């Protein structure tokens, strides 16, 4: 397995995908990079769990911001661990697919846990290059790779993967197209997992807070109902649907007090608290 991005980078299939590729090629937010610098796991998702206030210490401490960043990163890694918990029994000879892999944090964690091969895909050439360089630095580039491609037409054989996931990346694509492709690349009995924000159909329509989040990230957040319907249409049968909304609120409230704020924190907190937005994990088996 090569550890470098292919010299040939296919053109995005649509103008929108071109916009998304440019967005993530140019993204260098401290909230992603500084948190990853804590231990070399670079995530592009959010956190879950209660804040360890003893780890934060005194807010007047000169190390207070450093401790806060470390705590935010701990909560992000806890989110990835929960996703991996739901992949089921993965062996060293299995292949996993990280669809929308970002800079590769979850891919690295998956290999470290299971010892298996992890194939990441992203529209961003810069993200793929970053992830491959990091895998090479860790000496795992023979098992962990990122490549530039569209997650709706992944370059993998039918039934090749024992597990696959989207960690906060499914809001950039049509769900029916996405789950058709996951269903294709997964072996029968394989497991698909997603953790995602979705608007709550009981609210009626996407709220103003959800609209702000869409505009900020140039994405299109789906409803929970759309996820379940698209899975059912593509031979993916949910085994677990977990509402993580109460678990992610502490992360967002802590992040809003840091120097790493991006301006979108209040929209997340307000949307979660008024019930218009939910943070969910869905694990489904390919039948």
Answer whether 0.85 is exceeded by the pTM.
yes
Distance (Å, rounded) from C-alpha 230 to C-alpha 174?
Answer: 9
Ordered DSSP codes for 98-141: EET-TTSHHHHHHHHHH--EEEEEES-HHHHHHHHHHHHHHT-T
CA atoms within 13 A on the CB side of 275: 4
Please say if the pLDDT value at position 117 is more than 50.
Answer: yes
**For the segment 63-89, what is each residue's pLDDT rounded down to a tens digit?**
899 999 999 999 999 999 999 999 999
In a domain, 146, yes or no: yes
In a domain, 196, yes or no: yes
Which range among 24-28, 104-108, 263-267 shows the weakest confidence by mean pLDDT? Answer: 24-28
CATH number at residue 169: 3.40.50.150
In a domain, 2, yes or no: no
End-to-end CA distance of the chain: 30
β-pair partners for 192 = 164, 284
Comparing 244 with 260, the larger pLDDT belongs to 244
β-pair partners for 167 = 195
In a domain, 10, yes or no: no
Comparing 33 with 267, the larger pLDDT belongs to 267
In a domain, 9, yes or no: no
Mean pLDDT of the chain: 94
Domain around 138: 15-286
In a domain, 1, yes or no: no
Give how far Cα 236 sits from Cα of 96, 173, 176, 189, Å: 16, 17, 11, 10
In a domain, 3, yes or no: no
Give how many domains the chain has, as a whole number.
1
Task: State whether residue 249 is helix, strand or coil.
Answer: helix
pLDDT confidence of 62, banded at 50, 70, 90?
Answer: confident
Q: What is the mean pLDDT of residues 241-252?
A: 98
CA 92, 237, 146, 27 torsion-angle sign:
negative
The pLDDT assigned to 29 comes to: 78
The pLDDT assigned to 6 comes to: 42
Instruction: Give the helix/strand (H/E) hosting 213.
Output: helix 208-217
**For the segment 9-23, what is each residue's pLDDT rounded down to a tens digit?**
565 678 999 999 998
The pLDDT assigned to 11 comes to: 56
């Amino acid at each position: 397995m090569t550890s470098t991005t292919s010299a040939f980078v296919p053109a995005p299939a649509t103008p929108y995908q071109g916009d998304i590729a440019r967005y993530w090629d140019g993204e260098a937010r401290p909230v992603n990079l500084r948190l990853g610098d804590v231990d070399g796991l670079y995530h592009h998702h959010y956190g879950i769990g209660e804040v360890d206030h003893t780890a934060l210490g005194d807010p007047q401490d000169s190390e207070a911001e450093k401790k806060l960043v470390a705590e935010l990163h701990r909560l992000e890694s806890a989110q990835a661990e929960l996703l991996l918990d739901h992949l089921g029994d993965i062996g060293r000879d299995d292949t996993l697919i990280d669809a929308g892999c970002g800079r590769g944090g979850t891919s690295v964690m998956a290999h470290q846990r299971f010892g298996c091969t992890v194939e990441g895909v992203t529209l961003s050439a810069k993200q793929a290059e970053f992830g491959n360089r990091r895998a090479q630095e860790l000496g795992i580039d023979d098992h962990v790779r990122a490549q530039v491609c569209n997650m709706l037409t992944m370059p993998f054989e039918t039934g090749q993967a024992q597990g696959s996931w989207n960690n906060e990346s499914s809001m950039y694509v049509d769900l029916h197209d996405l789950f058709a492709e996951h269903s294709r690349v997964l072996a029968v009995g394989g497991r698909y997992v997603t953790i995602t924000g979705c608007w709550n159909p009981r609210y009626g329509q996407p709220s103003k807070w959800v609209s702000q989040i869409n505009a900020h990230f140039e994405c299109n957040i789906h409803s929970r109902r759309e996820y379940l319907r698209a899975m059912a249409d593509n031979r993916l049968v949910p085994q677990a649907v977990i509402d993580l909304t109460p678990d992610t609120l502490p992360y967002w409230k802590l992040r809003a007090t840091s120097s790493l704020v991006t301006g979108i924190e209040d929209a997340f907190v307000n949307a979660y608290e008024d019930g218009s937005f939910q943070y969910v994990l869905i694990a489904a088996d390919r039948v």
